[in-house]
Every structure is written in structure tokens, then in C-alpha cells.
Amino acid sequence: MMSESDIAYIAGLFDGEGSVYFKKMKQIKHNRPGKPIHNVIVIRMEIAMTDKDVVKWCHDFFGCGAFNERKVKPGYKRQWRWRVSHRDALYVAKLLWPYARIKLHKIEKIIDHYEPDVQGLDDNIVDLALERERRNDTIR
């Protein structure tokens, strides 16, 4: 079961140890005739650290993404990574959004990117304008 304190804890991990990647780029499809260039958006969130238990707990807690060992240079400690991308990143971003501070802007980019596509289909979609207003009222 997801508790608010667990979600807030993971949001803190993301602010300190995680990364949020949202980038528009051009990609060449080598397996197609003429190698056409496509515009793509790469969306990814990840936590990488040397404490395997914490990273595995994040993976199990959300139940999505990939958990694996990262390749490191000889002489360095083993590092573990939990990574989510695209719609899984949206799911995680919406849960972490109320608690994020440092990575808030990038998390909002992910939500803003997907929100028009799913608006009206899911009652759990965050209305960022209303939530910002509510958050500002509670801070005052």
C-alpha cells in the first residue's frame, strides 16, 4: 500500500539522487529506407545509487520500470538503477509532484506533456493550475 510518507521519501530521493530527463530530439531510423529523421521526445526518470535495497524498494513500491545493475569502472562500488520512461514516468511523476522541490520543473514538463492526451479519461489527472493555487494557499 502506498503511504504519503513513502511517496514523500522517494520524492526526496529523486531530488537528491535521481534524474529526470525530458528532451526533444531528432532520431535517425537506420532500419528504414532512406534513413528518415523523426522528431522524438525522450522521457525518463531514474534513481541510481550504491544501496541496492533502497533502489529495489523503489522499483517494488511503484511496480513499474526496470531495475538493474549499472556498469561501473573497475575499482568503483557497484551501482544499482531503477528507471521508468514514458507513461510509467508519467505515473511516477504524478505521485511525486506534490513533494518534489529541486526536480519539480522537470516533473511538471512530463505531466504537462501527457496531460492533454489523457484529460477526461482518468479522474486521477492532476490539474496543475489548481494544485499550484492550493499549494500556494497552504504555504501562506
pLDDT in tens, 60-115: 999 999 999 988 899 999 999 999 999 999 999 999 999 999 999 999 999 988 87
The three three-digit cell numbers of residue 128, written as one number: 496543475
Cβ proximity of 83 and 65 under 8 Å: yes
The three three-digit cell numbers of residue 124, written as one number: 486521477
What CATH number belongs to 4-139?
3.10.28.10
Which run of H or of E encompasses 46? Answer: strand 37-49
Backbone angles phi, psi at 44, to 5 degrees: -155, 140
pLDDT single digits (tens) 118-132: 444 455 556 667 776
Under the banding of pLDDT at 50, 70 and 90, the label for residue 49 is very high
